[in-house]
Amino acid sequence: MTTASTETMEDKTAIITGGSRGMGRNTAINLARRGVDVIFTYHSKQNDAESLSNEIKGMGRRAAAFRLDTGDLRAFDGFVTEVRRTLHAWGRERFDFLMNNAGNSQHINIDEVTEADFDSVVNVHFKGVYFLTQKLLPLIKDGGRIINISSGLTRVAIPGSSAYAAAKGAIEVFTRYLAKELGPRRITANVVAPGAIQTDFSGGMVRDNPEVNKQVSAITALGRPGVADDVGPMIASLLSDDHRWVNGQRIEVSGGMAL
């Protein structure tokens, strides 16, 4: 005998880092469409954050935006305090979904990477994710979901991405440990690894450079680079109860790059 899930995502709450643009923004919108309220962070572009907040509120959902440098661990306590206040204002004690998405990029060959270069990437993509997740664990509901964003560069090596890809590789290991250690709380943890996506990440390199766009298209089975709307709906779906038995996995969303 099988039973279909009847749970909806109505009135659940998500936290998305780096939510004001690109894949984070697209995921926030797709979650709001499913009835989810969204707390998200942005790094510097307040106008983008306000625009997303207004869009989500226009769907009849709640939204709250906070400026946060996810590479600055000293800022995390203040952010968690704001999360608590927001949840309380919304009549809640806990949130349901965490998407660690904020990121920066770097294109430097190994022999030229400085310690400062290394730290700027690792602090955002690994150390910050590790300790922000740790600080938010008391606030995530039992039965919640964690999505960490990795990269196709953990599978395919492209020169100039060593520090970035190594940090993303660490995130993939960390995610498996989260899945194991949080199992008693029924919290799942998975990795989504996008391929090359046409956003403003890396200065819009994939979107705006015709040669890069052509190269990506040539090695992708579906014949083009991805767009944010190829990824956001997938993550929203993964967070639903339909995927409650997916845990500790790396899921690449790349249209079939470098197969």
Active site residues: 164
Nearest to 225 by CA among 233, 217, 215: 217
Beta strand segments in 80-215, E: 95-100, 140-149, 188-194
Q: Are 90 and 13 in contact (CB under 8 A)?
A: yes
Say how far apart CA 3 and CA 241 lie, in whole Å.
13
Exposure of 251 by Cβ count < 10 A (0-12 exposed, 13-18 middle, 19+ buried)?
Answer: middle
Nearest to 166 by CA among 206, 104, 99, 121: 121
Say how far apart CA 12 and CA 87 lie, in whole Å.
11
